[in-house]
Amino acid sequence: MSVVDTARAWIEQDPDDETRAELQRLVDAGDTDELTARFAGRLAFGTAGLRAELGAGPLRMNRVVVTQAAAGLARFLVDTGRDRSVVIGYDGRVNSDVFARDSAEVMRGLGLEVTLLPSALPTPVLAFAVRHLGVGAGVMVTASHNPPRDNGYKVYLGGDNDGSQIVPPVDGEIAAAIDAVAAGDVRDLVRATDYTVAGPELAAAYVTATAATVPATILPSDAQPTVVYTAMHGVGWETARAVFAAAGFAEPVVVPEQIEPDGAFPTVAFPNPEEPGAMDLAIAQGVAVGADLVIANDPDADRLALAIPDGAGSFRRLSGNEVGWLLGWRAASRAAAEGRTGTLAASIVSSPALARVAERYGLGYRDTLTGFKWVSRVPSLVFGYEEALGYLVDPDVVRDKDGISAALSLLDLAVSLAADGQTVADQLDAFAAEFGAFASGQVATRVDDLSRIGTIMAALRSTPPTTLGGRAVETVTDYDAGVEGFPPSDILRYDLDGGARVIVRPSGTEPKVKVYIDTVADSPAEARALVEALADDVRPLVS
């Protein structure tokens, strides 16, 4: 069958007027190049579920692809004898609500008990709901911090998985079930609309449980730090606001241009707090009101970014590692004070500083593969994080990164520090004095041709560097060749003389090769200088 005939068959089964028309225009124009780009395969369903640009065809996010995914997931639950119940959530991106309703109708039509969240809500609320409702699976329609035109489909499992995201081999089994559905026509799938729409008590239960993760604040509102908050056009604000209030904290000053959900993301080119410029409006608001903290959630509120005054009239954004150190130290000290044991965990590309914290407090420590699906599964977890702004501060409430509970923990820390006349900046200095001066940085190369990623990784394997940043490379670890405790993974790690390290891996969600640099030295300035020297040497190797 020609690509034009394939496109015509897709149009026949597509329930969406917009994507049908989009595809028909390509067919009428005879644009076989663009049609081939849409039909040269299908979106791969993996441990991150699905994520891609909105558009027509099997290599884009659309109602046909989502319907196939929903039916495949439902059949997987049935065929593997799992609990035939699912809860579905969605964020404020374009078509998230449509994709969620399609999923609810298809899964209900296949006999599952389906609960749909009542409105656009943060991803952590959905992750909470999987455990709170005791269902077999959860689906969150979100592209998190991806570009504005993207959307995605994230899957959680209940039961023994305890509400964590899926991991192999389950992702492959679900993918096979989706492929089997995709071999047919989505018009043949039975739909039903008698699913349950959750009431407000579900989100309220999340608010109550999250607020209880910090002690009740003892400072009056006028003695609390001034905080600026941005939802970055996402769905975090109303839930975060309720959590902060329930825990006794003063309401933050908001960034009005970014506080309501808006799938067009009109004030940011890339709605990721890590991206340059993404927090500019929030920082400007922080300067205007003399804030002590600027807090940002990403659009689905599972990530958190923090900025603090820089002493020169503006703010500096803390790295994910710096926030992870602070929250990890807080969690470890609280566990020790309460006589609890357990484990701290971080992804292998996150700073090694957390291991020192664990050692100091007599806790276990685990490195995991990148992705919170691995961090959340560490046994006896006390606290876990990944440098990409993801933090899990209370595994008993949510088994996933949660930007709202992390923000609450930071507020609690800031209030405690303020009571002693200290700031978050002071706490960072105290961390360096207590555990060592750590610093981290990243280098990323974006590619247009995905094969370029394989070429870069192959070159590094065939000719590994012997020195970086003036430091000798003492060991090279290739995780693809097998490392105890890890499945084979496309990751290279270089450990250098003096304790620095460099890790290289392809991004799991973007067409990039990413390099993670971590150093430790006698002073923060020395550690940062070494990061820059290593970055200068690494860039040519991955460009």
Annotated catalytic sites, by residue? Answer: 144
Buried/exposed 253-279: b ≥16 CB within 10 Å, e otherwise = bbbeebbebbbebebbeebbbbeeebb
Amino acid at 160: D
Is 372 in contact with 402 (CB distance < 8 Å)? no
Q: Is 503 in contact with 516 (CB distance < 8 Å)?
A: yes
- Tell the residue number behind the tokens 């070159």, with chain if given: 459
AA identity, residue 206: Y
Determine the Cα–Cα distance for residues 401 and 13; give it in Å rounded to an integer.
Answer: 37
Q: Which residue has the tokens 């060592």?
A: 436
Query: Cα 503 to the chain's mean position, in Å?
Result: 20
With CA atoms as reference, report the closest residue to 3 among 33, 25, 45. Answer: 33
3-class secondary structure, 14: coil
Residue 359 token pair: 């050692």
Q: H-type helices in 2-62, by residue range?
A: 3-13, 17-28, 32-39
Tell me whether residue 41 is exposed, middle or buried, using C-beta atoms within 10 angstroms of its C-beta: 0 to 12, 13 to 18, 19 or more.
Answer: exposed
Alpha helices per DSSP H over 295-395: 320-337, 353-360, 372-375
